Amino acid sequence: MTEFVPENLERVLAHFKNQNLRMPLLLAKVYTFQLLRALAYLHSLGVCHRDIKPENLLIEPQTQRLKLADFGSAKVLEKGLNSVPYVSMRCVRAPELLMGNEFYSHSVDTWAAGCILACMLKGQFLFEGASNQEVLVCIFRILGTPNQEQLAKLAPEQTLAKETEIPQIQGSGITAEFSAKVPPEALDLVKKMLVYTPSRRIKPVEALAHPFFDELRKTQVSFKNG
């Protein structure tokens, strides 16, 4: 019998948005920490979830316990073996997936988690568009166009579609996308997760030790329903 968990992050985000409010920073910490802990465990087993999105993050309202759900797209990734790049919802899809790279790593989950953390901090997704190309351009506008070294890691020549155009854009930077009320340690973690070169993205197990979560380690966090 499957456990019933009444809420998910998608509805929690909608609740705050409908009231024109930002999610409390403490909640963002609690949810992100639990997501990273789940990913650290999965990745230690060689499993890539490949469908990290708010709808798949179930939440128990009384305890704020988060559980990762829907493993229909999960796969054990093996070096040298290709996988379909059409995974994850588009606004959290890693750039290598958007470029059609079939030889990606578990770090696509890290990118998706970084997008979700950014959404909790900002109140909306950073990268949105109606097509892969539109989302890529949105990413470029914030992070800047990847250089040749980064591009080679994201999309080897044999996987980058010939019709894909790479516009040269000077990015505005992640910090510019957020309110001054968002603390620097939160932005630092987002920046470490949303890195072009997949191997340089912070690993979930490393992210758990990030200063962004110091408050959770120093205090006993409890929540009451209502």
Rg (CA), the chain: 17
Please give the distance of CA 35 from its chain centroid, rounded to a whole number: 10
Distance in angstroms (rounded) separating the CA atoms of residues 137 and 69: 30
Q: What angle do CA 47, 62, 214 make, to 5 degrees?
A: 60
- Residue 51 a catalytic site member: yes
Which one of 51, 70, 109, 188 is the catalytic residue?
A: 51
Nearest CA to 196 among 163, 151, 166, 148?
151
The CA distance from 68 to 143, in Å, is: 28
Q: Among candidates 122, 135, 214, which has minimal Cα distance to 174? A: 122
- Give catalytic residue positions: 51
